[in-house]
Amino acid sequence: MAIGFWLNFAALAVRAYIYLVTLLSHRQVSEQIDYTDLLMVFAYIPFVILLSLPSGKSYPTPLLWVDAIQVIIAGYLIYIKLFSIIPFTQISVQPISVERLIAFYNIADLTFCCMAALRFRASTTKDEKNFYRAYCWFIGVSTILIGLHNALAGQTDRAGYPELLGVAPGLFFCILVYFLPTESRGKESTYSRNKLTIFLNTASPLFYTLSLLVLSIDAARNYFRFGMSTIAAAFLLYGFRSTVLQRSYEHSERSLETVRDKLQEILLTDQLTGVANRRCFDQTLESEWNRAVRGKNPMSLLLIDVDYFKRLNDLFGHSVGDECLVRVAAALHSALPRAGDLLARYGGEEFAAILPHTDQSGAHLVAARMQDAVNKLKIQNESSIGPYISISIGIATHGPHSGGSPRILLEASDQALYQAKTNGRNRIEVAMMPTSPSSS
């Protein structure tokens, strides 16, 4: 907006100087006034970019530059179309009439009024609504004042006091800025993105390229080389924009995949101990069971319970209990021999380990390593079985000739764990799995 107003101010300043000289000297307005119209046409460009910025999301800087270049070229072509002359040359087809110039400015101002109203309706944040509400007030009053200026002062080649209406919008803008609401601090309230928001965000960039092509084709009729050059520029800019969009899309895809993986990891990880949670355990047990059945390979399931854990919580508090679970989980995980083995927190002070391609003897060896790792922690918990924390483990193994299901395997290991606790805790018990009828 600042760039647009400075361009407009520069055009009005030059025009005011020319009008002042002609008013004092009682001469006709100089033809140099036409070049102030180039600045006034360019003054619309920043507002075009402003009204086409996507609502509710960030805009990559390379795309902003591409759009700015397209609008600048389009503004240059509009000036050529209006005045039938390439600036700073004397090549002219037909001078523009005052009526045609006034009609252009009136149509442009009305178009900006409509665009500002649409942007206000499509705003997705409170700050955007406040901004576009103020901008609608400005562009509405400005259109009325400029319309009066064009009606009163635009029909004569003599400078007069009605020209002051041309600077009135700038004064109104200064007053309006003073009453603008302050920007929201902290979390900003947002509104849902409606169909209008999505349409404007999608169609605005395409409008640039189409307008540039149409204006370039029209310019090529009178200025062939120049017109063909701008057509080539339009295709090059469109290609560059497509490349930037593709790279941005791929970057977004990678970012989404990273976020998805992190969310998946959070969903499948126990937040206290850092090992897999019950959801991950259930999914892995089902998939490993199916893999074992298809390949006729053994798999073992270990259910592990921390002995007398309630006594630890009652004596030392839940914070000590949580620290104990964290250390026990790390010890159990360190005892797993392969990366494909899974340790999960089954619930409370219970853990579970899924051991693919592991028979009963291999599972018993892993269980013994787990017991040894936990014993080495020497976490104080005085009980009938000793002064330190210990674990009880139940083992169930699915063999090539075993029947059942994941649920039966889980029930068998749970029964073995119950047997270990019944037989005095701090021990390992092995469950017998049912044999498949086909193996008999």
Judged by average pLDDT, the poorest of 69-78, 86-95, 248-257, 328-337 is: 86-95
The structure's pTM equals 0.56
pLDDT exceeds 60 at position 30: no
Mean pLDDT of 305-322: 91
Q: Determine how β-strand 428-430 pairs with β-strand 391-398.
A: parallel
pLDDT exceeds 60 at position 73: yes
Q: What is the pLDDT of residue 153?
A: 66
**Token duo for residue 210:** 């189409």
Q: What is the pLDDT of residue 33?
A: 52
Q: What percent of the chain stands above pLDDT 90?
A: 30
| Cα 141 versus chain centre, distance | 37
Q: What is the pLDDT of residue 433?
A: 72
Q: Which CATH number does 278-439 carry?
A: 3.30.70.270
The candidate with the shortest Cα–Cα distance to 80, out of 32, 41, 111, 47, is 41
More confident residue, 80 or 342: 342
Total residue length of the chain: 440
Q: pLDDT tens, 92-109?
A: 545 566 677 778 778 888
Q: What is the pLDDT of residue 92?
A: 52
Give percent helix, percent strand, percent coil of the chain, each to the nearest 5.
65, 10, 25
Q: What is the pLDDT of residue 144?
A: 86
Please, which pLDDT band fits residue 191 given cuts at 50, 70 and 90?
A: low
Contact assessment for residue 435 and residue 403, using Cβ atoms and an 8 Å cutoff: yes
Please, which pLDDT band fits residue 357 given cuts at 50, 70 and 90?
A: very high
Q: What is the pLDDT of residue 190?
A: 66
Residues carrying CATH 3.30.70.270, the chain: 278-439
Please, which pLDDT band fits residue 219 given cuts at 50, 70 and 90?
A: confident
The type of residue at 145 is L
Helices (H), 296-405: 309-316, 318-334, 360-375
Please, which pLDDT band fits residue 276 given cuts at 50, 70 and 90?
A: very high
Q: What is the pLDDT of residue 187?
A: 61
More confident residue, 259 or 182: 259
Q: pLDDT tens, 291-313?
A: 999 988 999 999 999 999 998 98
Q: How many helices (H) and strands (E) does the chain have?
A: 14, 7
pLDDT exceeds 90 at position 289: yes
pLDDT exceeds 70 at position 56: no
pLDDT exceeds 70 at position 87: no
pLDDT exceeds 50 at position 439: no
Q: What is the pLDDT of residue 27?
A: 65
Distance CA 341, CA 277 (A): 14
Q: Which residue has the tokens 């009135």?
A: 168
Spell out the residues 6+ positions from residue 147 whose beta carbon is closer than 8 angstroms to its own: 106, 109
Contact assessment for residue 273 and residue 326, using Cβ atoms and an 8 Å cutoff: yes
Distance CA 400, CA 289 (A): 11
In this structure, what DSSP letter does residue 270 have?
-
Q: What is the pLDDT of residue 161?
A: 66
Q: pLDDT tens, 128-152?
A: 888 888 888 888 888 888 888 777 7
Taking the CA atoms of residue 234, residue 240, residue 245 and residue 250 in that order, the dihedral angle to the nearest 10 degrees is 160
Compute the half-sphere exposure of residue 298: CA atoms within 13 Å on the CB side of its CA. Answer: 13
Mean pLDDT of 386-400: 92
Hey, which bits of 169-276 come out as E strands? none
Mean pLDDT of 83-97: 62
Q: What is the pLDDT of residue 211?
A: 83
Q: Which residue has the tokens 């009963």?
A: 360
Contact assessment for residue 120 and residue 132, using Cβ atoms and an 8 Å cutoff: yes
If you average pLDDT over each of 13-17, 164-168, 254-258, 322-326, which comes out highest? 322-326
Mean pLDDT of 228-238: 88
Q: Mean pLDDT in the chain?
A: 83
Mean pLDDT of 43-64: 80
More confident residue, 101 or 406: 406
Q: What is the pLDDT of residue 440?
A: 39
If you average pLDDT over each of 21-35, 276-290, 425-439, which comes out highest? 276-290
- Measured from the Cβ of residue 99, the count of other Cβ atoms closer than 10 Å reads 11
